[in-house]
Amino acid sequence: MSRSSVQIKRPRLLGGLAAAVAGAAAAACFSLIGAASRLEAHPIEIQAGAERLAAALAEPESESAPASSADPVVWAVTAAECGDCFARAGADLADLRADGFEVRVVRLAPSDRLALDAVLRENGEQLDLPAVFWRRGAEWRAAVSLDPHTRALLRAEFNPEA
C-alpha cells in the first residue's frame, strides 16, 4: 500500500490564512475578556468632589425627592433634554423599587451635567447617562449605567448576605 504525501502548492497563502485565524482568535479572546470585566459591575468610589456631586443631585429638577426615607436612596440621573431616557429603563427602575430602594429620578440641567461630568473625571471615570448614584454612609458611589448588572451591584452593596 503506497501512501502519497500531500504537497502544499501555496505555502505563503496557507501561512497567511493561519496567521489571520490566529489573530481573529486572539481578538475574540481579548474582546470577551473586556466584556467580562465590564459585566463585573463595581462601584465607582467618589473620592474627589463629593460635595459638588451632592450639590448637583440636590438642586436639579427631580421627579421624586422625598425629604427622608428608611430605604436606601438611589439617584437615577439623566439629561433634562432626554424626555424618554427613563421610559426605556422603566423595568430596571421598577425592579430597584421592588428591591426596597427609594429611587429618585433626576433630570440634570446642562450646568449640573457639566459639574457631574467634572466630578466623575476627577475620579477616573466618564459620565455616561443614565447613571446611578448612592451613598454608603458618608461615601458617595456611582455606576455609569442603569442595567440589570447595576441592580445586582446595588443589592450586593446594601445586602452583602444576598
pLDDT digits (tens, 9 = 90+) for 29-49: 777 665 544 444 577 787 888
Q: Which residue has the higher pLDDT, 28 or 64?
A: 28
The burial of 48, by beta-carbon neighbours within 10 Å (0-12 exposed, 13-18 middle, 19 or more buried), is given as middle
Q: Give the predicted TM-score (pTM) of the model.
A: 0.63
Tell me, what amino acid is at 97? R
- Least confident segment among 59-68, 81-90, 99-108, 134-143: 59-68
* Mean pLDDT of the chain, nearest integer: 76
> Distance between CA 106 and CA 79 in Å, rounded?
8
